[in-house]
Amino acid sequence: MKFNERLSALLEAKCWSNADLVNYAKVDKSSVSLWINGKRKPRANTIRKIAAAAGCNKEWLLTGNGSMFGVSLDIDDASQRQIVADSNVEPAPLPHHPQKQIPVISWVQAGSWQEVQDPFQPGDSDEWIITVETNHPHAFALKIRGDSMTPEFSEGDIVTVDPGVEAINGKYVIVKNGSEEATFKQLIIDGGNVYLKPLNERYPVIDMTGKELHIVGVVVEKRKKY
């Protein structure tokens, strides 16, 4: 896998746009598209800066070795420093959070999720996933259905949702849609106006200005269906 392919895979895994990469990693806006298209490759220190901002394995992003979010488990700092000294290999950075098991729930359940007082327990859901992108006690996952958020999100993809993340402009959010179910849109805040935007241009933008907006959570991770 070439660097531009690894970078594209990282942005997809993080649900980041090119603009997100610029904002979070503080890199040059004009260079990002060149990196993505494979026309140019950033310097090693820039790649390390991107990896640090994304919480991914620097060695993977630099060379392709290891895994995107590889971690060293059950190794204290002293032992880890000794491994580095012995092998001269830089360890992968720790993830944003410890590994956490979260339930894949239905869209009906997501619609009333904030009313749930106790976290799901094993057996409450037929499907669970492991994530390092959230440690919120009420985090959950949803399986994408329909095509309103294509091409970024396709039917069958799984998204991780954190109810504790602030819903700011540009974030992908799970919203209670006025019925029993939840819906998935991009939150657009333009001055005093608020919109819910489907990524598929075949669907209309929903004007929520002046209306009650019940945001269940913010998408913090996407898992592509292959």
Domain that holds residue 153: 100-223
DSSP-derived letter for residue 66 is: S
Average pLDDT value for residue range 124-128: 71
Q: In sequence order, what E strands does the chain have?
A: 100-105, 128-131, 140-143, 158-162, 172-176, 182-190, 193-197, 206-207, 215-223
Q: Which has more pLDDT, 143 or 24?
A: 143
- Residue 175 in any domain: the answer is yes
Measure CA 7 to chain center: 14
Phi, psi angles (nearest 5°) of residue 25: -95, -5
Per-chain mean pLDDT for the chain: 80
Domain count within the chain: 2
**End-of-domain residue from the set 62, 87, 112:** 87
43-73 pLDDT tens trace: 888 998 898 888 888 888 888 887 787 543 3
83-123 pLDDT tens trace: 333 333 444 444 456 788 889 998 888 877 754 445 555 44
Count of CB atoms within 10 A of residue 200's CB?
14
Average pLDDT value for residue range 159-174: 93
Q: 83 and 109: one domain?
A: no
Q: 174 and 214: one domain?
A: yes
Q: 140 and 207: one domain?
A: yes
Give the CATH number for residue 39. 1.10.260.40
